[in-house]
Structure 1
Amino acid sequence: MLSWSLTFLVIALIAGLLGFTGVAGAAAGIAKILFFVFLVLLIVSAIAGAVRGKPPVS
């Protein structure tokens, strides 16, 4: 999920440099949404791991 967010961020930066403002804005919006989805899933996973009480396996 985070890799998709970074991919859309790079697409937005390249499109912005080339002057494609519509594409850059859309890609940046998608990157932002994916980043926050990733962040929510990370927090839910951390809470679920804490509730189970098992330490993470190294």
Structure 2
Amino acid sequence: MLGWVATFLVIALIAGILGFGGIAGASIEIAKVIFFIAVVLFLISAVVGLARGRTRV
């Protein structure tokens, strides 16, 4: 998922350099949304992992 964030950031940077403001703005917004979704999923995964604890075999 973070790969998608990097992709949209690169698209935004290239579009910004070339003067395509609308595409750059949309790409950066998409990158921000995907980044925050990734952070939320990571936090949920961390909390669930801590709640389950480690089982001894």
TM-score range, shorter chain: over 0.9
CA deviations over 1:5-58 (Å, ceiling 9, x no partner):
110011001100100000000000000000000000000000000001028xxx
Q: Which amino acid aligns with 1:26?
A: A
Q: What TM-score, normalized by structure 1, do the two folds share?
A: 0.91
Aligned to 2:51: 51
Please identify the structure whose Cα radius of gyration is greater. 2
CA distance in 2, matches of 1:10, 1:16: 10
Please, which runs of 5 or more residues in structure 2 have no aligned partner? none
Aligned residue pairs: how many? 55
Answer yes or no: is 1:39 the counterpart of 2:20: no
Identity, % of aligned pairs?
58
Structure 1 runs (4+) deviating above 3 angstroms are: none
Aligned to 1:24: 24
Q: What TM-score, normalized by structure 2, do the two folds share?
A: 0.92
Please, which runs of 5 or more residues in structure 1 have no aligned partner? none
Q: Which amino acid aligns with 1:20?
A: F
